[in-house]
């Protein structure tokens, strides 16, 4: 296991969490082709997924604001107790978004650059985007199925006062919804900035997202695996360890995260997850490796679902509570 901070994680009174395991989408191409039975219609996939996993991340909301009608269908197609964590729309995490990604009535107000991307909108404009995003999630909220809002910040958002100020503001916009924060620039979690970052997240009531990702010497756009809690939620995302494709220009997401963890690599996580889940009130582990690998029998498997199932079996074999 790669090193975390020297001090132990924060402990939350009365905490003992069963680890809920799943994937960072239920609809990517690898899952569609190699997880669902042949002929499964798109509308039936979520229900099939929910029979095998009890939590998922919603990835599509990063690309476009969700529509409440669609969110209502998600709620209807999942059983009681199912949890959906929702990835924040790109504009909410300071990613560039095409003007066409916005609702038509917001496009005239949006400042754009010479590439047709929304460029440095005002806080008021971003606030309206937040309001619409959060409002659309009400069907999940009402049924108790809404987990956290995942804020995956790009690698050019570095640790500085302006970034801290934005995080404070964004946290205020969420109200009672949980904020899950994943950084992609090393300055947040290197030896110099780690303790300050963790204290800051705890102070604003946000959850530190723990990542398993490639270690690339000198790279600024990967962060170390920091085993620490800043809220009662343990949240781990597995991105694979493919250093060769992490910074490949023009590559697809499935290329970047193309990696099938071995059982030995997953076993490295058993004891850290045991310790952290014993100090959390809720715990989640999601796989974002969204390509395919040979299954050894002439076919292929979806990496994320395969590794999610394998991790669950490893944890259960070691008597670590895992759903």
Provide the percentage of residues in the chain whose pLDDT is more than 90.
87
pLDDT score, position 2:
41
pLDDT exceeds 90 at position 252: no
Mean pLDDT (the chain, rounded): 93
Q: How would you class 228 by CB atoms within 10 Å of its CB: exposed for 0-12, middle for 13-18, buried for 19 or more? A: buried
**Max alpha carbon distance in the chain (Å)?**
57
> CB count, 10 Å around CB of 268?
15
Q: What is the pLDDT of residue 10?
A: 64
User: Strands of 55-58's sheet, edge to edge?
Assistant: 55-58, 83-87, 146-152, 178-182, 207-208
Give which of 4, 21, 61, 87 is closest to 236, Cα–Cα. Answer: 21
DSSP 215-259: --TT-SS--------SSSEEEEEE----HHHHT-TT--HHHHT--
Q: What is the pLDDT of residue 14?
A: 56
Tell me the three state secondary structure of residue 113: coil
**CATH number for the 19-317 domain, one of 3.20.20.410, 3.30.465.10, 2.60.40.1930, 3.40.190.10?**
3.20.20.410
pLDDT at 190: 96
Q: Say whether pLDDT at 153 is over 90.
A: yes
Distance, CA of 190 to CA of 185 (rounded, Å): 9
**What DSSP string describes 190-212?**
STTTHHHHHHHHHHHT-EEPEEE
pLDDT of residue 256: 84
pLDDT tens digit sequence for 11-21? 665 556 999 99
- The pLDDT of residue 237 is 98
pLDDT in tens, 190-228: 999 999 999 999 999 999 999 999 988 888 999 999 999
Distance CA 103, CA 37 (A): 35
55-109, pLDDT tens digit by residue? 999 999 999 999 999 999 999 999 999 999 999 999 999 999 999 999 999 999 9
Say yes or no to pLDDT of 6 above 60.
Answer: no
Q: Which pTM value belongs to this model? A: 0.94
Instruction: Give the per-residue pLDDT at 308.
Output: 98
pLDDT, residue 20, reads: 98
Residues 138-152, mean pLDDT to the nearest whole number = 98
Phi-psi region of 37 (alpha: psi -120 to 50; beta: other; left: phi over 0): beta
In the chain, DSSP assigns E strands to 19-23, 55-58, 83-87, 146-152, 178-182, 207-208, 210-212, 233-238, 282-287, 292-294, 300-302
Tokens for 105, please give them.
């009535």
- Mind listing the pLDDT tens digit for each residue in 263-299? 999 999 999 999 999 999 999 999 999 899 999 899 9
Q: Could you tell me the two tokens for 99?
A: 């003007």
Task: Please list the alpha-helical segments (H only) found in 96-160.
Answer: 104-107, 123-136, 138-142
- Asked if pLDDT for residue 5 goes beyond 50, the answer is no
């Amino acid at each position: 296991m790669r090193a975390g901070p020297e001090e132990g994680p924060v402990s939350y009174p009365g905490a003992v969490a069963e680890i809920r395991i799943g994937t960072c989408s239920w609809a990517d191409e690898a899952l569609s082709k190699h997880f669902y039975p042949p002929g499964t219609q798109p509308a039936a996939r979520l229900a099939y997924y929910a029979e095998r996993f009890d939590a998922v991340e919603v990835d599509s909301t990063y690309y476009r604001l969700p529509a409440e009608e669609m969110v209502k269908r998600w709620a209807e197609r999942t059983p009681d107790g199912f949890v959906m964590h929702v990835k924040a729309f790109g504009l909410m995490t300071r990613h560039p978004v095409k003007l066409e990604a916005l609702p038509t009535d917001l496009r005239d107000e949006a400042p754009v650059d010479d590439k047709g991307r929304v460029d440095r909108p005002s806080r008021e404009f971003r606030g309206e985007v937040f309001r619409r995003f959060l409002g659309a999630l009400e069907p999940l909220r009402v049924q108790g199925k809404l987990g956290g809002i995942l804020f995956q910040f790009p690698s050019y958002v570095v640790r500085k006062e302006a970034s801290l100020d934005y995080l404070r503001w964004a946290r205020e916009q969420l109200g009672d919804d949980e904020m899950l924060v994943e950084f992609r620039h090393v300055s947040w979690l290197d030896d110099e900035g780690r303790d300050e970052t963790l204290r800051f997240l705890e102070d604003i009531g946000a959850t530190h997202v723990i990542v398993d990702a490639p270690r690339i010497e000198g790279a600024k756009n990967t962060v170390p695996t920091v085993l620490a809690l800043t809220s009662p939620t343990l949240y781990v995302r597995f991105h694979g360890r493919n250093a060769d494709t992490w910074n490949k220009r023009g590559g697809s997401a499935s290329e970047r995260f193309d990696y099938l963890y071995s059982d030995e690599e997953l076993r490295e996580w058993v004891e850290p997850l045991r310790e952290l889940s014993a100090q959390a009130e809720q715990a989640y582990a999601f796989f974002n490796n969204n390509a395919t690998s040979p299954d050894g029998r002439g076919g292929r498997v979806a990496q994320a679902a395969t590794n999610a199932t394998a991790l669950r079996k490893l944890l259960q074999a070691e008597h670590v509570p895992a759903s």
